[in-house]
Structures are given as C-alpha cells and as structure tokens.
Amino acid sequence: MEVGKRKRERRRRRRARKSSREHNQKRKEEEVAHLEAQEENSAIEPESKRRKTHTVGHSNASNFLDKMRARLSGGHFRMLNEKLYTCSGDEALKFFQEDPALFDVYHAGYQEQMSHWPEQPVNIITNWLKGQSPSLTVADFGCGDGRLARNVKNKVFSFDLVSNDPSIIACDMSNTPLDSSSIDVAVFCLSLMGTNFPSYLQEAHRVLKPCGWLLIAEVKSRFDPNNGGADPNGFLKAVCELGFNSVSKDFSNKMFVLFFFKKKKASPETKEIEWPELKPCIYKRR
Ligand SMILES: C[S@@+](CC[C@H](N)C(=O)[O-])C[C@H]1O[C@@H](n2cnc3c(N)ncnc32)[C@H](O)[C@@H]1O
C-alpha cells in the first residue's frame, strides 16, 4: 500500500474509535440524566412503586441502576443536610412545608449514615432517662422519627420541622407551644443545626423549670478547634451565661460529645452573649 493510502486508513480508524468512545459516553450521560429525572420524582414516589417502575430483566443492569439510585439519593440527603446546617430554623420550616416528602428523603439518608456509627447518642440519652424518675416531663427538640418518646415511660413532647406521627409537633423549635417553666428535661440530640441555634437554647431555657436538665449531644468535629470547630469552653461559657450551670461533659465517644447542664434557679442578668460558630456538619460521600 502506498504511503498516502496507509495514512488515510490510519486516520479513518482513529476517527471510528473516537466516534465509538463519544457514543458510549453519550449513552452513559443519557442514562444518568434519566436516573436523575426519576430521582427527582422519587422524593414523592413511594419506594415500592419506584422498584416496580425500574425493574429490568438483566441483573447486571439492575445492580448498576441500584448503585446509581443509592448514589443519587445519597446526594439528595447530603444536599438537604447541608441546607439544614446553613439556614435558619424558620427557613428550614418553610422549605419542608413546601415539600414534606423531602423530610423522608433526609431521614432515610440520616439513618443510613447513623448505621455506621458504633453508638447512637439517642440511645445514650434514652438510657440516661431510664435511670431518672419516669415522672419527669421531657421536651425532645429536633426529635427526628420520635424514637426517644417511644423508648421511655416519661411524657415526652417531640418537636420537629415535619410531623409524620400524631405524637410529633411540627414547628420551628425556637418557638414551641410549651408553657414557660413546664419541662424537667430538654434534649437536643444532634439537632443544633440552624444558623440561629442559640435561639433554640433560649427556647429550652424558657420552657425548663428551675434546676431542669438540658442535654446536648453534638457531632464531635463541631467542637474540634483544631479542625475549624468551636472551642468547647466558649460554648460552655455561652450556655452558662444564658442561665445554666454545667454539670458534666463527655468527650469519650469518637463520633459525638455530650453536655449536661442544669437551669439556674435565678434568671441571669440580660447581657449580650458571645456564641461561638458551630460549623456545619457535612457528611462525606461513601
Ligand atoms: C440529625 S437529626 C437527629 C434526630 C434525632 N434527634 C436523633 O437523634 O435521631 C436532627 C433533627 O433536627 C431537626 N431540626 C433541625 N432544625 C430544626 C428546627 N429549627 N426546628 C425543629 N426541628 C429541627 C431536623 O429536622 C432533624 O430531624
């Protein structure tokens, strides 16, 4: 074959390979776009219906789709989680009121993340409560699925942005319907999420009886000053200035910290409190 002909042949083959690569890439992109479009609806569609719609005969294809779906709903969870950590409580309330189904998406992702934690702070708090008198009245601020109330004998008022259960009161927890000085124990289990978190603690102070307990469990990295987290002592100081005495703190768990406070008998003098910033807790992609 003469030189010119060989060159033309090589060019033709290169073009064919490039076009085949582009074709495959385009197919993958279309598949992802299709899944993303379906995932958009999945926030509203029940899981059982989604499974039926997406059933495909080929098991490899179905594995691939399952993986893609898990990745996309993980992405949805991370987006919602970030939203909750970067807006105020009333914005979060409006956001979920517009589309309450997103709350289920958030909680499915949250439970998945928590399943990797060796110990759940809500269980530590539940066990602590079981060691107290069952006559103590409890307020669970940011109760999630309300499992604290289900696992103790105490009367528990459960608050969250969305209520999927008649026992859960939907509200922004900076403004609960509780009477002042009516509660013995206020619980915040991983729920100091909003940018206005001090107003949640102010509300707890309002509803607690004098000497009432304030229990806070938070993600440990939020209190790691070496990693952009808050200084725990600055946080303790601010909570004490709000009108509490610090009883104990527990940093022994790898994933979360626990603070126990008691409301002071006398109201503190009003003064500006310097609250440390609590950095958003953004979950990494698994
Ligand atoms: C990380 S989840 C923890 C749920 C539960 N406490 C547990 O430990 O399983 C935090 C919860 O706080 C709720 N939350 C965040 N900000 C809130 C607000 N301003 N008012 C009411 N609930 C809020 C979220 O909707 C979410 O359900």
ipTM computed for the complex: 0.99
Number of domains in the chain: 2
Query: What gap in Å lies between CA 45 and CA 186, rounded to an integer?
Result: 35
Both 10 and 106 in one domain: the answer is no
Residue 229 pLDDT grade (very low, low, confident, very high; cuts 50, 70, 90):
very high
Q: Assess if residue 54 is contained within a domain.
A: no
Both 242 and 106 in one domain: the answer is yes
Residue 55 pLDDT grade (very low, low, confident, very high; cuts 50, 70, 90):
very low
Whether 192 lines ligand 1, by a CB cut-off of 6 Å, is no
Over residues 224-246, mean pLDDT: 96
Both 113 and 153 in one domain: the answer is yes
Q: Assess if residue 49 is contained within a domain.
A: no
pTM, to two decimals: 0.79
Q: What is the pLDDT of residues 89-148, one digit of tens each?
A: 999 999 999 999 999 999 999 999 999 999 999 999 999 999 999 999 999 999 999 999
Query: Which of the listed residues 147, 161, 185 should we mutate to test ligand 1's pocket, taking the one with most ligand atoms within 8 A of CB?
Result: 161
Whether 89 lines ligand 1, by a CB cut-off of 6 Å, is yes
Both 99 and 194 in one domain: the answer is yes
Of 141, 245, 145, nearest to 201 (Cα)?
141
Q: Assess if residue 91 is contained within a domain.
A: yes
- What is the extent of the structural domain holding 138? 59-286
Q: What percent of the chain has pLDDT over 70?
A: 78
Over residues 243-253, mean pLDDT: 97
The alpha-helical segments, DSSP class H, found in 191-258 are: 197-207, 232-243
Whether 102 lines ligand 1, by a CB cut-off of 6 Å, is no
Of 240, 229, 248, nearest to 264 (Cα)?
240
Both 83 and 13 in one domain: the answer is no
Which residues are registered as beta bridge partners of 102?
A: none
Q: Please report the pLDDT score of residue 154 as a whole number.
A: 98
Q: Assess if residue 51 is contained within a domain.
A: no
Both 147 and 91 in one domain: the answer is yes
Distance 259 CA to ligand 1 centre (A): 17
Both 5 and 63 in one domain: the answer is no
Q: Assess if residue 50 is contained within a domain.
A: no
Over residues 6-24, mean pLDDT: 73
Say if CB 246 and CB 239 are below 8 A apart.
yes
220: CATH: 3.40.50.150
Which are the contacts of 256, defined by CB distance < 8 A and separation ≥ 6? 117, 121, 190, 217, 218, 219, 220
Q: Please report the pLDDT score of residue 270 as a whole number.
A: 81
Q: Assess if residue 14 is contained within a domain.
A: yes
Both 17 and 106 in one domain: the answer is no
Q: Which atom of ligand 1 is nearest to the CA of 110?
A: 1
Query: What gap in Å lies between CA 131 and CA 127, rounded to an integer?
Result: 7
Whether 159 lines ligand 1, by a CB cut-off of 6 Å, is yes
